[in-house]
Amino acid sequence: MNKKILKLYFCFITIIGSNLIYSQNSHKSDLWAFDILNIPENKTKGKDLTQITIAVIDDGFMLSHKSIASFLYKNTSEVENNFIDDDGNGYIDDFIGWDIADDDSNVNIPEGKEANYYHGTYVASLITRIASIHYGALAKDYIKIMPIKVLEDNANNTYLKKGYDGVKYAIDNGADIICLSWSGGFPTEKQKTLMKQAKAKGIIIVSSAGNFNERKVLYPANFKEVIAVAGVGVDLEKGKFSNFGDKISISAPSEYVKGAYPVQKNAYIHDNGTSASAGLVAGVIALLKSKNPSLNKEEVEAIINNSSNSNSTEKNKYLGLLGSGIIDVEKAILSLNEPNKFFSSNKNRGAILYNKRNSDSIYTIKPEGVFSGFNLSLSSKEVKKKKNNYFSIYLKDTLWRNFNLENIPKKLYIPANSFTVKTKAKFKKKDIFKMSFYSKSIDSTKLYCKEITNLSKNGEVVNNGSLENNYVNNTSCRWVITAPKNKRIKFLFNKMDTEPNVDFVYIADGESLVQENIFAKFSGNNLPPVVSSNSNKVLVWFITDKKNTKKGWEFKYEFVD
């Protein structure tokens, strides 16, 4: 059974005008989220373009909204409203998408629920706006939206329980790209298989990382077959709500993003959340696929990662955790025939494609910051004659690994902060050897202490672990101390230096930090008094914020009667 799946969005308070819904944050550029993507006018001739279908799997759709009405995918193998499954795909009258949740062909929002079921229309409109900026009036000829509704008409909440069933429909019915602006739960084996099937068919799946401001990429974005997207705010730093992590591929705006609002055919709203980020990235990838429909996930990621713009000045906080940067449409299009064009050795995520033209080139990957290492993906399947062609990796000018392309591993981990690669090969005209990489960041929140440490030996000395250094931001570390039965635990502090009234050491009876169990709470630089527990088991929890840090604390505990 599917876990409940949560749509990812946060709305600004809105004011409703006669024809428009707009945010009170009107001091910001109305379309800043699209401006920052650097979307150029199309220069590709029509004969060289291919129509691309993007399946948007979401709560429901206002098909008549002016932002998406002309972009709707129509199943021409099906006769509309004749109550016959003309194309034999198992769905009667699925002329414009399908309502998976209610098992019918009506993907429209149930009457009276427009404000609650707005999300699908909103996300679809982000894709169509990108297409319209690039292709102008011809956008509808090249980009199509396949609306797939996965929320019941009579649902009591907006959890998308049928989300993965929608993915199956998209796979089986011709989608080129699947946009999943939602997350939640842990996948079943069946759902894992679905993602593999999509990738095997060349379908590119884009999903939002999550809106809980934590270092965790939620499913479905966490699937290796999916392009995971994080969000950035108007300051181009990590979005306030956006999740982050090593598995993020790319970032896009997630705050004050203008999209359709289905209370009227020409109404709009400015919304927050990584749902918007995923929709924007799906729209950009649709442009790339319309110019080169054969692009697979690895090729798309190579292009958007190499051509992205760096977004983080908060280097100690999110370096390596927001993907390669903010997606840049113009540079991505310029990279279609030359994926290495904007390669930068300073990026923590990217790709190198070796061919006949650059077979002698040497590339060094040396991003800013400290990392535990790099994960590499290697593919020589597009090299016709692999024998006597070699790929070498150097660490600090010393050869670390040398592979014949006949037996090169698909995955490789390099335990270093930087590395250099080169090939010794005689590639033919159509040969391509691919290497993609991303850094493995060090979780600074666990740099000096573990998430949980269990102690039971009498007379131990415990400290925050940073010794002579300051502790780090966003620390959340716990110690569970267990004394023999009928004993209590006494605490004697000999050091206390934390940011006053901000970073705290909590001490509570038991193993959970509930208010009634807390018997001590210390902060600042005054040495705490001696305190004792009321039971034989105690939780010590050290929590810090994201700003200032100090030298930390230390205590000795003793078991007493």
Helix (H, G, I), strand (E, B) or coil at 145: strand
- Asked if residues 252 and 277 have their Cβ atoms less than 8 Å apart, the reply is yes
Catalytic residue among 23, 58, 242, 251: 58
Respond yes or no: is residue 153 known to be catalytic.
no
167's CB contacts (< 8 A; 6+ apart) are 57, 178, 180, 191, 194, 195, 198, 205, 220
- Asked if residues 232 and 241 have their Cβ atoms less than 8 Å apart, the reply is no
Please report, as a single letter, which amino acid is at residue 396: K
- Asked if residues 156 and 107 have their Cβ atoms less than 8 Å apart, the reply is no
- The sign of the torsion formed by the CA atoms of 134, 136, 138, 139 equals positive
Kindly report the backbone phi and psi dihedral angles of residue 34, in degrees, each rounded to the nearest multiple of 5, phi listed first.
Answer: -90, -35
Please report, as a single letter, which amino acid is at residue 478: R
Kindly list the distances between the CA atom of residue 344 and the CA atoms of 238, 281, 310, 338, 477, in Å, as whole numbers in the listed order. 21, 21, 10, 14, 37
Respond yes or no: is residue 87 known to be catalytic.
no
Helix (H, G, I), strand (E, B) or coil at 284: helix
Catalytic residue among 132, 208, 251, 275: 275
- Asked if residues 282 and 336 have their Cβ atoms less than 8 Å apart, the reply is no
If residue 275 lies in a helix (H) or strand (E), which one and from where to where?
A: helix 274-291
460 phi-psi bin (left φ>0, alpha ψ -120 to 50, beta other) = beta
Q: Across the strands, what pairs with 509?
A: 538
Cβ neighbourhood burial of 190 (10 Å; 0-12, 13-18, 19+): exposed
Respond yes or no: is residue 58 known to be catalytic.
yes
- Asked if residues 189 and 34 have their Cβ atoms less than 8 Å apart, the reply is no
Own/partner pairs, 341-346, CB within 8 angstroms, 24+ separation: 341/306, 341/307, 342/306, 342/307, 343/306, 344/306, 346/310
Catalytic residue among 23, 65, 119, 290: 119
- Asked if residues 209 and 242 have their Cβ atoms less than 8 Å apart, the reply is yes
The closest of 559, 487, 556, 489 to 528, measured between CA atoms, is: 556
Cα dihedral: 148, 154, 156, 160 (round 10): -10
Question: Regarding beta strands 537-543 and 531-532, do their DSSP bridges make them parallel or antiparallel, or are they unpaired?
Answer: unpaired
Q: What letter would DSSP give residue 326?
A: B
Q: Across the strands, what pairs with 354?
A: 433
DSSP per residue, 167-223: HHHHHHTT-SEEEE-EE-S---HHHHHHHHHHHHTT-EEEEE--SS-SB---TTTTS
Taking every pair of Cα atoms in the chain, the longest distance, rounded to a whole number of angstroms, is: 86
Catalytic residues: 58, 119, 275
